[in-house]
Structure 1
Amino acid sequence: MAYRETEKMRNRKAEARNRIFNCGVRCVMEGGFRSAQVTHVAQAAGVATGTLYRYFDSKEELFAEIFRSATQREVDKVAEALATEGTAVTRLEAALRQFAERALRGPTMAWSLIAEPVDPKVEAERLLYRQAYARHFEQAIREGIEEGSVPPQEARQSSTCLVGAIAESLVGPLSPAQTDAERTMSPQQQQELVESIVCFCIQGLTGTRR
């Protein structure tokens, strides 16, 4: 008789996989992908390293899934901001502010998602999610052009520039190469940084200083 996996066994496997995944997320949040060694993730999940590979074919697969999950949450937050009331420019401001503020609240994870050197499989995911951000911005820019709040321009190219500008502007503040004192900003300093980023992006988009 062929072996048939029971519902209880499937649930147990799903729980083990979720536990490994969640421990991987915590390791990345605490020290980035470089610090999230497979042995550390397995130890945190209470399993042997070999057991981890029953659920994820490789470290790269685990990290790519962590990256997808974490970045999708950030993309969703940007999409929510762009779906609020107001002109396209107002909504773009809100989305850019959301992006920057969330990054500064979780600098280690944000650095990992935006700029940390990673394996090629994770880097490929990073490119896909940059494109996802750009698609959301592109739609808002097109709506702005239609309503007259954004001057005529190549919306796709402008959206790509927005993603690049906000990501690059956060690399320095998020970088672990800084000292703790350099990386730790007061709420006022964080707010000033966020506003300067938003101002630059909107000015570049509309030609008008906000």
Structure 2
Amino acid sequence: MRVKILRSTRNLVQQSGFKGATVSAIAEDANVATGTLYRHFPSKSALFSEIFRTATEIEVRKVAEAIENNTTVTQQLIAAVNCFSKRALTAPQLAWALIAEPVDPIVDADRLRYRQAYADIFEQLIAAGMQSGEIPNQHKSISAAALVGAMAESLVGPLSPPNKANTDKKKPLVTVKDKEALINSIARFCVQAVTGQEYSL
């Protein structure tokens, strides 16, 4: 039953964010009574926190895996940044929920921890680049945190749900061409930020 509740909650978050994952909607989707939900989770905040942690663990793992088949640090950095951006733009509602959607403070605390998990990946890449001479000496932990912040902030606008300013509901907020340009721009910025060199993708 617990797994069923988690599955329904994740599906709802993926469709309409945490805002759409109300207790009644979760219970209806999972075909359980609301009381059953609270027997497995002490609060909706605890449920959301578990959904957030599980989903973000997958994303962090995918970014870590993306660097494995690349040789130079620059190639690894590009692969990691591109993986983060592509996965976010492929599932924009879920990415918005994970990156920026206003939600319970317990999830905000989870966000900080998982931003650090991403930063750890980039810190290791920067350290390796400094050792190999590909990247100039710098404060690797600050640079890594800055990269994570830049990636997330660059995607907030494109991932944002439609608002009153978006009157044309049929027109996609981000076209395929826009996505490619955005992904390349983020990667280019990140590489230039840590190498100090212009880079063309």
Scaled to the shorter chain, the TM-score interval is over 0.9
Matches within 5 A, 1:107-186: 107-178=92-163, 179=166, 180=169, 183-186=172-175
- Give SS of 1:85's match: coil
In structure 2, distance between residues paired with 1:75 and 1:165: 16
Matched, 1:46 2:35: no
Matches within 5 A, 1:1-210: 16-178=1-163, 179=166, 180=169, 183-210=172-199
Offset at residue 147 of structure 1 (A):
0.6
In structure 2, distance between residues paired with 1:131 and 1:103: 18
Offset at residue 177 of structure 1 (A):
3.8
What is the number of residues matched between the two proteins? 195
Deviations along 1:134-169, whole A, 9 cap, x unmatched?
001100110010011111101000000000000000
Q: 1:153 to 1:114 in 2, by over 3 A?
A: same
In structure 2, distance between residues paired with 1:73 and 1:116: 19
Deviates more, 1:34-43 or 1:183-192: 183-192
The letter of the residue matching 1:190 is K
In structure 2, distance between residues paired with 1:85 and 1:28: 33
Q: Percent identity?
A: 49
Structure 1: segments with no counterpart, 5+ residues:
1-15
Taking structure 1 as the reference length, what is the TM-score of the superposition?
0.90
In structure 1, distance between residues paired with 2:121 and 2:170: 35
Moved >6 Å (runs of 4+): none
Q: 1:177 to 1:209 in 2, by over 3 A?
A: same
Taking structure 2 as the reference length, what is the TM-score of the superposition?
0.94
In structure 1, distance between residues paired with 2:196 and 2:36: 56
The letter of the residue matching 2:90 is R
Greater gyration radius: 1
The letter of the residue matching 1:31 is S
- Give SS of 1:152's match: coil
Q: Which residue does 1:5 correspond to in 2?
A: none
Deviates more, 1:170-179 or 1:142-151: 170-179
Structure 2: segments with no counterpart, 5+ residues:
none
- Give SS of 2:137's match: coil
Cα root mean square deviation, aligned: 1.2
The letter of the residue matching 1:29 is Q
